[in-house]
Structure 1
Amino acid sequence: MRDQIFSQENDLVDFTFDAQVADVFDDMVRRSVPGYQSMIEMIGLCVKSYGQDNANYYDLGASTGATSIALSVNNPHNNNRIIAIDNSPSMVKKCQHNLAKKIDNANVICADINTIEITNAAIVVLNLTLQFIAPKARQALINSIYQGLNQGGILIVSEKIHFNNAHKQQLMTDLHLDFKRANGYSELEIAAKRQSIENILITDDKKNHFERFKKAGFNASSCHFQCLNFASFLAVK
């Protein structure tokens, strides 16, 4: 379904992942996030290299299940369980519907990812999720993920990022806006969504991410993909 949530002038409220958003989320993210499909494809490649037999794969902030599907269809390992978690009942319902058609080894759970216990994990993915977690709670979440990962396990974090250099920040912002325009969003839609989400989506810079991984205890981390102001990070235990 095509995203037209912000196509009309209405009183704006903070962005929420409700039923209206769940219905159009796949179109919204494809038309709003540069490199989104490549992010998903990179997750699939990482499963082949870092997956483990007899281990769990976690999709935290699973939305409609694209990451869970990538974890499953690219998995060459044995006896794995995919655990998809989201705190939006509407997203969970959509995810359950999408995964039921393609995956037979998934649990889809409605829960707060800040309170769940990660266990026996080979792969944990936060795909466009950490940016919606309160900044003060992010380190605790990364620490918890690290503790639940098996040795050699990985955390993948894909996020919108910001730049401390004002010129570079403006350049990337302008290109991102052009990307949205090229994908059919009007100036009204762009402005309305920006206003709706500005207090909900709080970005980090690359340094923040690397410092967080190091503090949690990860042995190595890198930015393995970037398109404009969106980046994917890989941290290895």
Structure 2
Amino acid sequence: MVGTKIFIKRGGRDEAEKPFWISFADLMTALMVLFLVVMGVALLAVTKNVTEREKLEEQHRKDIERILERFTEVAKRYDGIKVDKKRQAIDFGDRARFAFGKSTLTSDQESVLRQFVPEILTLANDDLGKRVLKRVVVEGYTDKTGSYLKNLNLSLQRSQRVLCSMFATTGTNILTTAQKEDVRNLFLVGGYSFNAAKETDEESRRVEMRMEFLGVKEQRAPAPEASGDFGECALR
């Protein structure tokens, strides 16, 4: 009896713990796989959104190029009027040149402007124009003679004179009431003094129409309700 050996079986504890560790490892593996799936889906969604955004931006850029080309084609029918695609502006050249220190236009100059502006309105109101064109800013310029503030006021008056010619009730090529309403809703007056003077003083005393375009998915603001009374030009 003295020599009898007693063996204690210790494998029970390890066998009891073994199923636990196997389950924990499987859980971590499953979580890792789930994490990778979620990250893959998220990256795919981000990539898809970026791709769609890039497609919209590319289409928007092409639409702007198309409408600028249409303006260019229209301008070719009028001597002296050019479209600067890079600056997105319409330069009227001698067709809207001002005398030194003056903000008045001749009757012939006003008549040309009233012929050309309806062309702008036609392009602005078709499907492409409504999709990309935000507004048209009439910008007047002066030469470098005189003080800054005096020329700033003069350039503003020149811009205003162009708009006044659109609302004239006498003369040739008078705009219709509907066209005048479109001018009121689409056009904006701006004055730039001699900040963009050209090579000669005569070329600097000019007026331009700069086109502003909508952003991607941006829509043109609806026209505000207004009466048909356009008033009279304050310039004399």
More helix by share: 2
More strand by share: 1
With the length of structure 2 as denominator, give the TM-score of the two structures.
0.27
Report which of the two structures shows the higher radius of gyration computed on alpha carbons: 2
